[in-house]
Amino acid sequence: MKTYREYQFQDSLKKNNKLHLILVEGPWDKIDIDIIGSLLVTEQGNRYIVICIDYMMKWAEAKSLSNKSARQIA
């Protein structure tokens, strides 16, 4: 049975991986939102974390959630 490390290194490096600039015109112009979980349940009944990061300022906001429904995230 192959280990994770063997799968990770089975292909050769690709030389055409170019970086592309992400153009941002101002604060909160482009953001990234991610949900982490399911985690251990807290005393308040939360088991998820939603994170929002602004591309320009690198500002991050996080909020704990009891579930990952759209109503909870808003």
Contacts 24+ apart (CB under 8 A), 59-62: 59/27
pLDDT in tens, 24-48: 888 888 889 899 888 899 899 899 9
Residue 15 lies in a domain: no
- In-domain check, residue 3: no
Give per-residue pLDDT as tens, 10-27.
Answer: 666 666 777 778 788 888
Q: What number is the average pLDDT over the span 58-72?
A: 86
Is 51 part of a structural domain of the chain?
Answer: yes
Q: Is residue 8 part of a domain?
A: no
Domains of the chain: total: 1
The three-class DSSP label of residue 54 is: strand
> Domain limits at 66?
26-74
| Predicted TM-score (pTM) of this structure | 0.61
Q: Is residue 10 part of a domain?
A: no
